[in-house]
Amino acid sequence: MKSVTNLLLAMSLFALTACAQTNKKNSERMNNKTLVAYFSATGTTRQEATILAKAIQADLYEIKPEAEYTDADLDWQNDKSRSSAEMKDKNSRPAMKKDLKDADKYDIVFIGFPIWWYTAPTIINTFMDTYDMSGKTVYLFATSGGSTPDKALEQLRKQYPKVNFKTAKLVNGASEEELREWAAR
Ligand SMILES: Cc1cc2nc3c(=O)[nH]c(=O)nc-3n(C[C@H](O)[C@H](O)[C@H](O)COP(=O)(O)O)c2cc1C
């Protein structure tokens, strides 16, 4: 009889410890500060970034160029347009408004952008150079006419080796539920 009581006691203790550990993990996750930062020239990425931030209750920050992109700037068929010139120059760092407060407090950062010439616009480099993301967990998301953000992920990993880049998701028309599921995974 005594051994049965001991066994029951041990099992209860095990269950209690497991429960405490799960609670600790959950509260650690909740204490992690999450940011959704995005650049959007014509509003498509903004829409998805806004949905994502709401779905995961993260802070939302828009990466704003000092000089907004005009339609002429975005003309990819003109190889002299501003976007063409920037994307041809790997060192281009279009000036951005630097008004993100307490960037250090974020552990997890989602970075969104439109795909330009199969990769991330170079203003994303300006953002990465301005706010040191070393050691932070970063997820990429993008909108496009069909290209995936795979090349952007590969290039950014090479350019910023101290950043813990995880995955990159194409979010064209993604719903709140889809974005929440992706972020939860
Ligand atoms: C300069 C430029 C280059 C683009 N290059 C690509 C591309 O390589 N592949 C693609 O699928 N879409 C490309 N697009 C389309 C955009 O990625 C797409 O319209 C995006 O959703 C726009 O997002 P935004 O409204 O947030 O700026 C390009 C658009 C521009 C303006």
Kindly report, residue by residue over 129-170, the tens digit of the pLDDT. Answer: 999 999 999 999 999 999 999 999 999 999 999 999 999 999
Q: Which of 76, 78, 124, 141 to mutate to test the pocket of ligand 1 (most atoms within 8 A of CB)?
A: 76
User: Helical H runs in the chain?
Assistant: 2-31, 44-56, 82-88, 123-130, 150-159, 176-184
Greater confidence (14 vs 142) lies with 142
For residues 7 and 87, state if they share a domain.
Answer: no
Q: How many domains does the chain have?
A: 2
Task: Tell me, using a 6 A CB cutoff, whether residue 74 lines ligand 1.
Answer: yes
Range of the domain at 20: 1-31
Quick: pLDDT tens for 86-124: 999 999 999 999 999 999 999 999 999 999 999 999 999
Question: Which range among 22-36, 63-77, 123-137 shows the weakest confidence by mean pLDDT?
Answer: 22-36
Task: Tell me, using a 6 A CB cutoff, whether residue 122 lines ligand 1.
Answer: no
Q: Which of 63, 73, 75, 115 to mutate to test the pocket of ligand 1 (most atoms within 8 A of CB)?
A: 115
CATH of the domain at 78: 3.40.50.360
Letter string b/e over residues 131-152, b meaning 16 or more CB atoms within 10 A of that residue's CB: bebeebbbbbbbbbeebebeeb
Query: What is the C-alpha separation between 67 and 12, in angstroms, rounded?
Result: 63
Nearest to 170 by CA among 184, 151, 149: 149
Q: Residue 182 CB: number of other CB atoms within 10 A?
A: 18
